A = this chain, B = another copy of it.
């Protein structure tokens, strides 16, 4: 969909093999994560390994093609919810979609944020996803459904956490993430008992040293998140 319309249309067999390859890669990556080998994918697709590299110069390019598809899918899902009547319910539904897809596809969870910060294509897709998440979050915030100090980047990072929390038991309790999503969403709801500590995350700007712990920025809470502990030696 992206690099196919360059110059000539693909020859029939090439187009067929490319699709076989994409399907196989999506399946293998979903099952084994992106550390699955190219040879394994080629075997699954029923084509030779050299053919894989003809279609995608590097393995990262193949991963990017798969991951971008998934990220775009989520962006589309978010966009479809961006004018829902109930913004808070829409945000929850969006969050559900994101974790659900992560659970189905293990490669996505490694790609969702920052892991591929060197891959331009994935970055662009991730940026789009972050943007629509920001929109959904702001609508819910304005509605008062979630606390005022939560950002879209909080949401997207927390969704990664929800998936990862449930991942160890994904075999035996494949829907456990719903439970953890409920906990996290509860934590995002209004009214906030205590303000969140620290400035919000920033996936894009602040390449380094954005003043990530400005003095006095920590909120005073009765149940303070502990700042430091006296031990400097290892156990």
Stretch of A7-15, A45-53, A131-139, A170-178 on the interface side: A170-178
CB pair A96 B226 closer than 8 Å: yes
- From 176 to 191 in chain A, residues with beta carbon under 8 angstroms from any chain B beta carbon are 176, 178-189
Give the Cβ gap from A27 to chain B, nearest Cβ, in Å: 10
CB pair A235 B158 closer than 8 Å: no
| Residues on B with beta carbons closer than 8 Å to the beta carbon of A166 | 157, 161, 201
Whether A118 is near chain B, meaning CB under 8 Å from some CB there, is no
| Residues on B with beta carbons closer than 8 Å to the beta carbon of A127 | none
User: Quick one: which of B172, B179, B200, B226 contacts A179, CB cutoff 8 A?
Assistant: B200
| Residues on B with beta carbons closer than 8 Å to the beta carbon of A169 | 114, 157, 201-203
Tell me the nearest residue of chain B to A157, going by C-beta: B165
Whether A196 is near chain B, meaning CB under 8 Å from some CB there, is yes
Chain A, interface residues (CB within 8 Å), range: 35 or more
Whether A212 is near chain B, meaning CB under 8 Å from some CB there, is yes
Compute how far the CA of A223 lies from the CA of B92 in the bound complex, rounded to whole angstroms.
8
Whether A44 is near chain B, meaning CB under 8 Å from some CB there, is no
Whether A26 is near chain B, meaning CB under 8 Å from some CB there, is yes
Given contacts A70-B235, A161-B166, 15 further A-B contacts (CB under 8 A): A69-B235, A93-B226, A100-B229, A150-B183, A157-B169, A158-B180, A159-B165, A161-B161, A173-B201, A178-B198, A182-B194, A182-B197, A183-B196, A185-B187, A185-B223
29 A-B pairs in the complex with CB atoms less than 8 angstroms apart? A92-B225, A93-B226, A96-B225, A96-B226, A97-B226, A97-B229, A115-B168, A154-B180, A158-B183, A159-B165, A161-B164, A161-B165, A161-B184, A171-B208, A173-B212, A175-B213, A176-B212, A179-B198, A179-B200, A182-B194, A183-B184, A183-B187, A183-B196, A185-B187, A185-B223, A186-B186, A186-B187, A186-B192, A189-B193
A interface, CB within 8 angstroms of B:
26, 69-70, 72-73, 76, 88-89, 92-93, 96-97, 100, 113-115, 150, 154, 157-166, 168-169, 171-176, 178-189, 192-194, 196-203, 206-208, 210, 212-213, 223, 225-226, 229, 234-235
